[in-house]
A and B are shown apart, each in its own frame.
Chain A
Amino acid sequence: MGARISLTAGFVSVAAGALVGTLLGLVAGYYEGWWDRAIMRLCDVLFAFPGILLAIGIVAILGSGMANVIIAVAVFSIPTFARLVRGNTLSLKHLTYVEAARSIGASDATIILRHIFPGTISAVVVYFSMRIGTSIITAASLSFLGMGAQPPTPEWGAMLNEARADMMTAPHVAIFPALAIFVTVLAFNLLGDGLRDALDPKIEQK
């Protein structure tokens, strides 16, 4: 039960953040100029809030609850994806095959989606898998602080918060949710490391 909530929260929030971030990054990198400045300024502002502070601020506005935590964590992932994709787009769009596509009269949308987007996918996938771990921890932290899922919803962070009162008599109530978070996040982090080694062309095969 708790697994479903925590995993969904981690996955959905990163997916939403990655989608918006990738779109913004593509637009910023491809059109440059005014779009680029506006989007990167927005990212700077989002980056100006350290760690989970941004998420806490959003939850303070929207009110506590699991859905709002997911929105908060998603917003918190947008700028990193936007920067990553923008950097890739900037270098990709000067390549010959993109120029070729433009010279045969392909529209901007076609060039972005068919020719540039595939080139950014591997970086996004690697980052995506590494980010899920962080997001699960962030979502669990917010619930632990009482801003996310409310007991008795068996979200892992909320379970730990509840178990805190009974640490003396029933430590196992705290140990198992903690282990569950640890093992899940560890799995996603190792997956991310593996994917990075496999997909990142910058790392030579040694």
Chain B
Amino acid sequence: MLQYIAKRLAGLAPTLFIVAVLVFLFVHLLPGDPARLAAGQDATPETVELVRQDLGLDKPLPEQFARFVSGALRGDFGRSLRTKRPVGTEIAERFMPTFWLTVTSMSWSVIFGMGIGVLSAVWRNRWPDRVGMTLAVSGISFPAFALGMVLMEVFAVQLNWLPTVGADSWRHYVLPSLTLGAAVAAIMARFTRSSFVDILQEDYIRTARAKGLPESAVVAKHGLRNALIPVVTMMGLQFGFLLGGSIVVEVVFNWPGLGRLLVDAVGMRDYPVIQALVLLFSLEFILINLIVDVLYGLINPTIRYR
């Protein structure tokens, strides 16, 4: 097992390297001169030249890349062009709200989605299935930003039950995590249902029923454990969706997180911030996928890692 994890970590290296090269080249792909962007619109040519030397943009590309990587490893991504503060500090401040938002969304949507999926599979083609699957297909069809606007209008503005923007108390988390988790819950429900429907056709389920186990034990012990295997994989993929989705939801709810930082940075062409965030997001995503693969082995004893 440990060997497998080590092997997977080593396998990540080339992907990470290419991601780092792309993120590094990002600055050079930007239209216009990055030194001029950093110096500001009405800087004199001399100032631009000074900024270029200061940022190391006059050095050959490989040397710049080495500087970028060694800086990134130490958590140093330069300074934000907008606030002039270190990018690391900017990100550290915004990290926790996004982290908690993702965690709360993932938790409720997985529990809720799997619940609906199991109920739909057990009562296949009857009314719980129809209601569940109608909800699920609506869930994947409704864009998160529109759902967020509707929820905010109804529960925060009209009924005044919950706060609209900010991230100060648990009540602030309710609407954004509902918005962010809705699509994930819907996908989990559909996926759990189809995986469960397949499992319920298996011979060992018939055997379990034949030996007189109550239906609840058949579903919970024999069905759920086996159905969980593809569902866990799906969860990993959904994490990427959540990371991306949080960008939109954070803008709707004016959330002080990484997603809004990214959108603001793109708007202001604040490239050191964009660079660091893109690297951070993809690193998170790659690591989560690795964790999911390992979990997959833990719940599925038929897989042997070599």
Contacts and interface: CB of A to CB of B under 8 A. Distances in A.
- Chains A and B come from one and the same complex: yes
B15 A48 contact: yes
A52 B247 contact: yes
A174 B145 CA distance: 11
A61 B149 contact: no
Given A49-B281, A52-B247, A168 B29 contact: no
A62 B266 CA distance: 11
A45 B244 CA distance: 16
A44 B285 CA distance: 12
A45 B269 CA distance: 24
Contacts of B266: 56, 59-60, 147
Interface in B198-215: none
A145 B286 contact: no
Interface residues of B, number: 45
A49 B31 contact: no
B274 interface: yes
A45 B157 contact: no
Interface string A152-180: 00000100100010011001001001100
Interface string B113-138: 00000000000000000000000011
Given A50-B281, A57-B278, A60-B274, A185 B22 contact: no
Nearest to A45: B18
A46 to B, nearest CB: 10
Nearest to A168: B157
B291 interface: no
Interface stretch (A27-35, A101-109, A115-123, A133-141): A133-141
The 3 closest A-B pairs by CB, nearest first: A51-B244, A50-B240, A178-B146
Interface in B128-159: 137-138, 140-146, 149-150, 153, 157
A57 B26 contact: yes
B175 interface: no
Contacts of A41: 14-15, 18
A53 B247 contact: yes
B239 interface: yes
A49 B279 CA distance: 9
A53 B281 contact: yes
